[in-house]
Amino acid sequence: MQTIRGTKDILPSDIYKWQELYLKAIEIFNIYDYLEIKTPIVETTDLFLRSVGNNTDIVSKEMYIFSDRGGRALTLRPEGTAPIARAIINNKLYLDNNIQKLWYMGPMFRYERPQSGRQRQFHQLGIECIGSNSPLAEVEVITIIKQILDTLRCQDYQIEINSIGNKEERIQYTKDLVNYMSEFEYDLDVTVRKRLLNNPLRLLDSKDPKIQSILNKAPILIDYLGKKSLKHFTAVCKYLDDLNITYKINHKLVRGLDYYNDTTFEITSKKLGGQNTICGGGRYNELINSLGGPNLPGVGCAIGIERLMIIRDKIDKISNDKKRVHVIIQSHKENQKGLEIITKLRSANILFHLELEDINIQKQIQKAIKNKALCCIIIGENEILNRTVTIKWLKGKFQETVQEEKIIEYIKIKLSQIDRY
């Protein structure tokens, strides 16, 4: 049996990298007072039709839509922001606090052509700051993501930001963009002409060099922004400057979801090749209200975890070595004593691996070496008679006999000095 195309097993040899991300993210989110939230992976299809937009690629050709036995149209979630907005409305979280700072980590689903860093089931680490119109909200979200990337020792990434203004400003800009692009109608293929008709702003971040060449002299969205939109964007840039956060203004950055307004941003890396976006997000002031909730503005973004792992593997070989001991019980007669030793190790929070394979002691020691254990705790007939244990240190290639009642004290001292061996 094979996995379904576009899905992938995350094996024990890789899962520790994901665990490291999760644990470091928790530390950072706790500093900024962001709380974890988990939403179902299945939502009503209408949620995404109303929020993401009918003319987006996600809705038009990427969503996994099905009917359940009750005839309800359901969708495997393709992104995390709309479910968060729905959860805020359903659970009336805004009654306790107008400002909600939330984060999530979990699988998303999109029917795309599978390739490196982009699967049909993929995972995102996302944050949402709900309830604030302040440009400080964007700055806080960008700062948190930057801190996560820096903590994970990621390098050579680029923060790009833009403002797409409000709905009225985009409408006027879109009219002029369409008029400009219409002059090149015969140079455009069918797919581009369709996009020009249904979602012209998405042409701005096209990867096609021919389209980008045409756009070089196209109108620029920032020239259509009013005083309020410009003031907000200028403030975001100023605060980033104050924090010495390096960024690039990209006037063609629009993002692919209909709910965004004002600030949009992406973080990209040259280490990813063509699909180079690690993180994307922006402001969405009308989303919650459009779904039937109160008028709560928001800012959010999400990191693609698979892409982040590719970058980490290229930059830094993450070590899974831990200060773990290997417990070897030589025969069934010593099992009871072995369980007593394990109980002591567990109570002292000493990491251990109990050998369960029925092989001779030399093979067990070789297995411990392969698993990078620090030492083997050997319990045999002689040890039982003398109320001792034999501890064989694998790196230093020596062994010592220790009284059973002193084993924890002995191991703790040795672990604190382990770099000597």
* Residue ranges of the binding site for L-histidine: 79-81, 110, 124, 128, 255, 259-260
Rg from Cα positions in the chain: 28
DSSP assignments along 341-398, one per residue: HHHHHHHTT-EEEE--S---HHHHHHHHHHTT-SEEEEE-HHHHHHTEEEEEETTTTE
Residue 192 corresponds to which tokens in the numbers above?
């581009």
Q: Are 313 and 157 in contact (CB under 8 A)?
A: no
Residue 42 corresponds to which tokens in the numbers above?
């299945």
Q: What is the 3-state secondary structure (H, E, C) of 388-408?
A: EEEEEECCCCEEEEEEHHHHH
d(CA 87, CA 296): 13
Q: Are 156 and 311 in contact (CB under 8 A)?
A: no
- CA-wise closest residue to 196 among 274, 250, 183, 209: 183
Residues flagged as binding site: 79-81, 110, 124, 128, 255, 259-260
Q: Are 301 and 143 in contact (CB under 8 A)?
A: no
Residue 122 corresponds to which tokens in the numbers above?
């993929």
d(CA 281, CA 79): 11
> Residue 389 contacts by C-beta under 8 Å, 6 or more apart in sequence?
341, 377, 378, 379, 383, 401, 402, 404, 407
